[in-house]
Each structure stands twice: as structure tokens, then as C-alpha cells.
A and B are shown apart, each in its own frame.
Chain A
Amino acid sequence: MSNRYVIKKIIGALLTLFAVVVFNFFLFRIVDRDPLSKYRGRSKLSLEQREAMIRRMGLSGSKWDQFVVYIKSTLRLDFGRSFDSTRPVLREIADRLPATLILVGISTALTIGIGLYIGAKAGWARGSRFDRVSTSGTMVLYATPEFFFGMLLLAIVAGRTGWFPTGGLRDIGANYGFVDSLLDRAHHLVLPSLTLTLGYLGSYSLIMRTSMLETLGEDYLTTARAKGLKESDVMTHHAVPNALLPSVSVIAISFGFVIGGAITTETVFSYPGLGLATADAIRNTDLPMLQALFLVASAAVIFLNLVADLTYGLLDPRIRHST
């Protein structure tokens, strides 16, 4: 992979990020929202106090002045204070990031593992009973919104049987040791991560199946068979690695969405991650929160897309040489 390829990709990513930053500024200023509405009628703020608070929020002066303040503070990772909680936005996001990373991370890993396995096997044994059953199954999963699985699991598995907690991150107020609290969190993670896994399993499986089908007629498989390799080895060592290539970028981009959180799943399970923070911020028209959440989510997708581009270059010699 040439340096030029890498530099080109990095510059492209930075430009996209800058475009997002600029777009964000204008997007959230379309909404007419009094930043001090929280204090309206409740707190006797003098005119000076109001002006000082608005200035601190970076909302005074002309749009251009505001834009300069916005760019400067964004570079410093200062996203202002939440209209709703009045706490610094960065702190709000930092508080909720781990929960989302764990939830979406685990389910993305599961989705990728299970999805690619099913897809590869179904594609390899095209037309078999496994293929028919798994393909129609994954089609159904693919077509169903994940919050629907969530509500079913919540009502049936959690509500009826009480086997799993109905939401949240942990047992509140319990004083567990390290291992117990780890297990407690795992217990709370089961249903939300199952929901997400079911919700996204379909797309990985279908992509993998398609690319597996494309490799079936390739000459190198014939060669491998001619060498006397077992059919399972031909599949795992020769077909799967090649079929994986198209999945790489899909996987990388979906890891990017990890940061954005799973809005509907987190809402169904009252799971306090970034997805829930987004839902709350939309409900409360909490513009600084929304602005930062959008930026973080877009930045994550842009960054992982860049990673995908670079990895792809490493994995696929054709890309390596063509640049």
C-alpha cells in the first residue's frame, strides 16, 4: 500500500469530519429554542446574568461569531453544557460511553461471529436444507425492527418469567464484590445484547452468503480440491478468507455505529447508554447534547470507515497495487 493511498484516505476522512462539524452547526441552529427556558419563570435572573450565561454557552453575537466560538470549542472538545442537566456535555457523554461500548460491542461481536458462520455455511452448501432454513430465518430477522424483538423479550422473558432483569445496567443499591457485580452486569446485558444480535444477524449472514456464492466457481477452489484437501479445509482455508473481503467494510462501518449506540434497544430496556441519551436529548430538544452526540457518532463512522479502507488495502493485493 503506497503512502499516497494512505494520505489520500486520511485527508478524505478529515475533510468529511470537517463537513460534519460545519453541518452540525447549522443543523442545530435551525431549531428555535431558548437556551435558558429551563430558568424561565423559576429563577430570577437579571439581564446581566442572562447575557453572561448565553455568552458562556457561545450563543451570543452574530452567527459568524458563534461559528468561530463553536469551531474553537469543538477543537478543544468543549461541547458546552446540556440544556437539560446543565452538566458539561462531554461529561454526560463520557459517563454513558462505556455502557454503550459494552452492549453494542458484545452484540456486534456475536452478530459478526454467528452471522458470518451461518452465511458462510449456507453459501457453501447452497440449496441444502441448512441453506433454505437459515436463509429464510435470517431474512425474517433482517426484516424485523430490533425494538420489536426487545419488546417481545421484555414482555415474555423478563416480565413473565422474571429470569432476567427488566432493564437498567445493574441491581441498584446492591453491594456486590467484584465478581458478583460483573455477573450482575452480565445478567443485565443478556436481553439487550440478544435483541441487538437478533436484529443485526440477518444482514451479516446474507452478505456473507452472497459473497460465498461468488467464490464457489473460482479456480483456486478447484486447485485446492485437486491438491486433495478435505472439503472442510477447502471451505475454511480457501473460500472463507476470500469471501470475507466484502464483509470487512461492512463490519468496520457497523463498529462505527457502536458509538452511536442502539437508540431503540436502549430505550426499550432503559439501558443508560448513548442511544438513550440521544433519545432523551431529542425529546427535550437538548441541542448541545444532540450536537455532540451527532458529532461523536459521525466521527466514529468516519474513523472506522478509514480503518476499513486501510485494512482493505492490506488484505486485497489488487487495491495495494492499483494505487
Chain B
Amino acid sequence: MNKNLFKILVALVVGFAALAVSTSTSVSAEGELTFTVGVTQDIDSLNVTVGFLVIDYEIWNLTLPSLTSKAASDFSILPYMAESWTGSEDGLTWTYKLRSDMKWSDGEPMTADDVAYTITRSVADGWWNHTPVTGNLTATATDAETLVVTSSVPDPKLPILDVYIVPKHIYEKISAEELPNYLADDNVSGGPFQIVERKEGEFVRLVQNPNWFGKEPAIEQLIFRTFETAEAQYNAIKAGDLDAVDDVPVKIFTSLEAGDEPNIIGIAGNQGSFSYLAMNSSCPTGIGDGHVALKDPNVRRAINWSLDRQLMVDKVLNGFGKPAVSISASANPAFDYQVAADQTYSYDPARAKALLDEAGWKDTNGDGVRDKDGVELKLRYFDRSIGGASDTTPFITGFLKDVGIATDVKTFDEDSLGAIQAKSEFDLYTWGWSPYADPDNMLSNFTTAAVPTDPTVGGYNDGNWCNAEYDALYAKQKVELDPVKRADMIQQMHKIFANDGPYAVLYKYDNLQAFRSDRWQNFVRQPAEVGPIMFTQTSTGYLDLEPISGGSGGGGTNTIVVIGVALVVAGAVFTLVRSRRKKSADDRQ
């Protein structure tokens, strides 16, 4: 009997505890206003010298300061660590006046010394996230609030200094040899938020940085939760476990747009991300084994003419994007290729066939595949296994087949395809780029210097393409301080790239994001009007978000369910107890 009493007690305890949990989960224990974002990508590395994924940049944007910031509207310069700046007459030297009230989250002072250290060390150690900006710079801190930056050449990017500043007092303890394996888990922050907890593959949790000196966010706690599938992620925002979701699949987004979920708003933002088909152009200074046909610009042009880009935008993106014929040099659409529709590629298979004929590739043996000098025009076509990356493949291979080009499709994981690209051992492959605010970085990817020459090092010129005229223009725009002249040079580079280049750019795709509109308001896009809210150049969207008073909190446990579970448990225990008692009575019979 005592034993039975114990069981009943257990049932009651479970029931009460269940009730307790139901009343305590609607807000976190500290009562912090939490914004939870669902992501399908896990952090690659928090180490700013190693990481490269979009999610890594989002965390750095929120935890590492930069000398200057960029306006959400047009990426123009804004104060950040620096309050003001003056340039020398020749434009080579800039003097920045820094705020005096800055501290890292651990209380150490944040000064001009941190900036000078970051610039100097990034050049010395060749930090790949930094050197595109800092490579030509030297910096000295004349005092805690004054920084002098000198460029060895005229630099149109200045006075914007768009790199993450690292805490000197942490990084100076780590040698160059140790740095690649440094996990950056000391969580020292100089941005609006600081990391307080991270479980790999699960979540990263940030709270407000107490020493933050900029605009105070309404969000007190920011959580990025990793999901394995986009469907699970979508169910989580529907259930109210999430406040926002990045990378919503096109089909789900379409149903959101149709108003299927009144509490969820979908935002399709464009910041220049584009997909392309790279064609191995076999630059003579490079390595690799690209198909001989692709060396001929006419064959590459023919491939460009053979594609129905609008069809792919309609079918693969459900319309959330737009066809493109050249790269996006910048997240700012002002730097896009400005060309009249009738002056560039459209869907014209006849023209593609004519170009191939002209280039000498004809179907001489009647097998439906063009050939020349005994070589078949059959191209190795590689794509990626990650979600959606191969959706364009059946379209593209179909278009190519229509004009007499055969393909042999293979799918790889990203790392393996990256390794193949580093050796330039492919004919065609599909991938995507997302540009920065300044066009220099994207444009640099197609210079001869970026052609892979050593497979262990690789190179960003993934079309294995070189063009002396493009290189010369790149070098000129890099040092052109007149923005109008620079923009004109960039347009000329676009023209060369589109006409002669190693890409068939397919389209610019939108970043599809979803938000709980019953809980949050003031969604500020970057760039203005066309861009997304999260995963932007500066990630300032989180600072603008405001809660809707009376909106239901996230992550709550439904009281009725908990009571139900408690009742079931109690019922089960009672049944067990009763059956035992009955049994012992039977035994006595």
C-alpha cells in the first residue's frame, strides 16, 4: 500500500511540474524579448580568418565592429567606430577620428589601436576576408582616438573601410600557425550583440552587448536555430517557435504570398545574388583540362544564346528573381550591367546553332551531337547536391541538347566540387555568387591573377578565363577616385565579360525570408525597397525590428496539452497500481 501511495505521489508531482513548465515558458526566465531565426546553414567557423558562409558573416556583422558603416538605403558611408574622417588632397591618406567611449564586451577599451592592429596583421598574415580591402593599406594609431590610414595606390573604396575589426588583446596571443585552428570561442564582442551560448548544429544564442555604443535594439536575445530541412523550419514558424526564417523554399514562399498564413509575412529581397553556368575557358596561364570547344568565345556565346532564362526564373524560382546576362558586381543594383534587352542575349536557339556552325562544330555523323575534327561536343556538367542547386540542370542540359551539345551530368557535394574547380578539371558547372557593396571584390574574381594555378591554393576565377583588356580595366577602376569614371569603366568590364566571358549568368535570385507579422514590425530592407531584412551587408535589420505589443510570445508550451499529458501519466500510474493490487488479490486466491 505504501508503494502504491508513492506511485500516486509521483503522478501528482509530474502533473504539478508539468503545470509549472507550462506557465514558465512563454518568455524566457529572464523575461528577455527574444527573436528566434530559423536557418538551414550551420556556422562554419566563428574565426573571421577562416569562416566563409553567409551565416558566419551574419554573426560577425552582429559581434564585430568596423571602422565605418554603410547606409541601408544606398550603402553610402556612415559613422561606426569612426565619428568623422578627412582625406588628404591626393586621396591616399585618410585620418579617422574615433569615438572615445568604446569598450569590448569584456570591458577592455576599444581604440584606434585595435583597428591599426587588424589592418596590419591581416596584410601580414594574408587574411582572406580582409586583404581585398586592406591589402594596399598601412595604418597607425597616433592616439587612442586617431587613426591614420595610408593607401599605396589611389583607392576608390576609401574612406569606407569595410572589414571586421578584431580585439587586439585576444588576437595578439594567437600565432599565425595557430590561427587557422582558433575557434573564436572567447566570444568577445564589439557589436550590438554578443554570443553567450553555442551548440554546434543546434543553435547560437546572442544577447545584447552591455558595452554596445550604437543604436539600442529592441531585441534583447537573438537566437539562430539550425534546422535540417526547410519543411521543419517552416512548421516551426507556423507553430510560433520561430519569429523569422531565412531561405524559405520557393514553393512554400509562393503559398505565403497567396496569403495562406495570415500571421506570417514573406519578404523577397534582392541583393544581387546570382546563379551561373561556368564554362571552362582554359586560360593559358591556368591548369586543368577544359573541353577544347569552350576555348572559342563563339561557342561560349552560343551557349548563352541557347538558354531560356525567363523560363528558368518562372519554373525554378516561381518568378522570385529575374533573368541576368552579366554578374552583379555589387549588392547595389546601380552597378549592374546597363544594357538594352535587344543588345544582349535572349533565348535564340537559331542564333546559337549558327554560331556553333560558324565555329566549325557540326553534326557530321548524324548522332545529334556536334563534332569537329573527330571530337564530339560532349561536355562534363557538374552541379551541387545541396538543396535546389541542381534544379536548373534539366533545363540547361535540355537547352544545350536542342542546339546539339551533349552533356554528362555529375553531382557533387560543395567541397568536392570546390576541389574540382581548384584544379579546373571540368567543362561546365553551376554555382552562385553573392556580391559585396563595393564592386571591386566581385570584379577581381575574373582577373588573370585569380585563375587557379595550384590546386591546393585554388582561385576564384572559376571559369578559368583571362582577358588582357578586362585585366587592364580592372586595374584602372581599382585606382579611379572619380565615381562617375569608375562606374563607366565597370560598365565596359561588364560588356567584355558578357560578350567574351566564361559565364552564362542565369538569373539574379531573391532571398526569400518569412517573419511573424503578428509579433514584429518595422522591417527595414537593405538595399532600400528591393533588399531583404536579414543576411544583408550590415545586418542592421535586427536593430530596427520592433515588437508588436500584445503579440503572442514565442516558444510557449500549451497548458492544455501539459495538463493532458499529466492526466495521461497519472491515469497510467493508477491503472498500473490497480492491476498490481488486483493481481496480488488473484495470487492470494
* Interface residues in chain A, defined as those with a beta carbon under 8 Å from any beta carbon in chain B: 32-34, 36-45, 49-50, 83, 85-87, 92, 95, 151, 154-155, 158-169, 171-176, 179-180, 182-184, 187, 190, 230, 267-270, 272, 276-277, 279-280, 283-285
Chain A residues closer than 8 Å to B413, beta-carbon distance:
283-285
Whose C-beta in chain A lies nearest to the C-beta of B182? A86
Known contacts A50-B456, A173-B34; is-contact A41 B128 (Cβ 8 Å): yes
Closest chain B residue to A156, Cβ basis? B235
Interface size on B, residues (CB 8 A): 71
Selected contact of A175 from candidates B18, B30, B228, B229, CB within 8 Å? B30
Are A176 and B29 interface neighbours, CB within 8 A? yes
Complexed CA–CA distance, A150 and B165 (Å):
45
Contact A173 B20 (CB under 8 A): no
Give 30 pairs: A residue, B residue, CB < 8 Å, sorted on A.
A41-B128, A43-B49, A43-B179, A44-B125, A50-B456, A86-B183, A95-B200, A154-B232, A158-B235, A158-B239, A159-B235, A159-B236, A160-B239, A161-B239, A165-B239, A166-B239, A171-B25, A172-B36, A173-B205, A175-B28, A175-B29, A180-B20, A183-B17, A183-B21, A184-B25, A187-B21, A268-B228, A269-B232, A270-B227, A280-B201
Contact assessment for B223 and A173 in the assembled complex, using a CB-CB cutoff below 8 Å:
yes
> Which of B273-281, B469-477, B553-561 sits within the interface?
B553-561
Chain A, residue nearest B32 (CB): A173
B225 at interface by CB-CB < 8 Å: yes
A34 to B32, CA, bound (A): 44
Kindly specify which of B66-74, B98-106, B416-424, B539-547 makes contact with the partner chain: B416-424
**How would residues 50 to 73 of chain B score, 1 for a CB under 8 Å from any chain A CB and 0 otherwise?**
101000000000000000000000
A149 CB → nearest B CB, Å: 14
Q: Which residues of B contact A45 (CB under 8 A)?
A: 180
Please give 8 more A-B residue pairs, beta carbons under 8 A apart, in addition to A42-B50, A272-B199: A38-B50, A42-B52, A49-B180, A159-B238, A173-B32, A173-B34, A173-B223, A230-B586
Interface-facing stretch out of B371-379, B397-405, B457-465: B457-465
Give B199-249 interface residues, CB cut-off 8 Å to A.
199-203, 205, 221, 223, 225-229, 231-232, 234-236, 238-241
Residues on the B chain within 8 Å of A180, using CB: 17, 20-21, 24
Taken together as a complex, chains A and B put the C-alpha atoms of A39 and B235 apart, in Å, by 35
Knowing A162-B558, A174-B28, A180-B17, the reply to whether A42 touches B128 (Cβ < 8 A) is: yes
Query: CB-CB < 8 A to A36: which residues of B?
Result: 456
A172 B223 Cβ-Cβ under 8 A: yes
- A267 with B228, Cβ < 8 A, contacts A40-B457, A167-B236 known: yes
Shortest Cβ distance from A285 into B: residue: B413
- Report the bound CA distance from A113 to B266 in whole Å: 46
Flag if A41 contacts B457 (CB, 8 Å).
Answer: yes
Nearest 8 interchain pairs by C-beta: A159-B235, A175-B29, A44-B126, A166-B236, A162-B239, A163-B561, A41-B458, A183-B21
A285 to B456, CA, bound (A): 18
CA distance A45 to B223 in the complex (A): 34
Contacts of A276 in B (CB 8 A): 201, 228
Residues of A contacting B201 in the complex (Cβ-Cβ under 8 angstroms): 272, 276-277, 280
Bound CA–CA A284/B385 (angstroms) = 10
Report yes or no: A168 in contact with B415, Cβ–Cβ below 8 A.
no
User: Closest Cβ of chain A: how far from B470's Cβ, in Å?
Assistant: 21
B142 within 8 A of A: no
Q: CB within 8 A of B225: which of A39, A87, A92, A168?
A: A168
- Cα of A112 to Cα of B335 in the assembled complex, Å: 64
Given contacts A158-B239, A184-B25, contact A164 B229 (CB under 8 A): no
Q: In the complex, what residue of chain A is closest to B566 when comparing beta carbons?
A: A183
With A175-B28, A183-B21 as contacts: A159 and B202 at CB distance below 8 Å: no
B285 interfacial by beta-carbon distance below 8 Å:
no
Check: B177 CB closer than 8 A to any chain A CB.
yes
Known contacts A162-B558, A267-B229; is-contact A184 B125 (Cβ 8 Å): no
Q: Is the CB of B240 within 8 A of A162?
A: yes
Q: Which residues of A contact B416 (CB under 8 A)?
A: 32-33, 37, 285
Check if A163 sits within 8 Å of B558, measured CB to CB. Answer: yes
Inter-chain CA distance A172–B225, complex, in Å, is: 8
Chain A hits for B460, CB < 8 A: 41
Q: A159-B235, A166-B239 are in contact. Are A40 and B17 (CB under 8 A)?
A: no
**Are A174's CB and B555's CB within 8 A?**
yes
> Nearest A residue to B554 by beta-carbon distance?
A171
Q: How far is the CA of A269 from the CA of B181 in the complex (A)?
A: 31
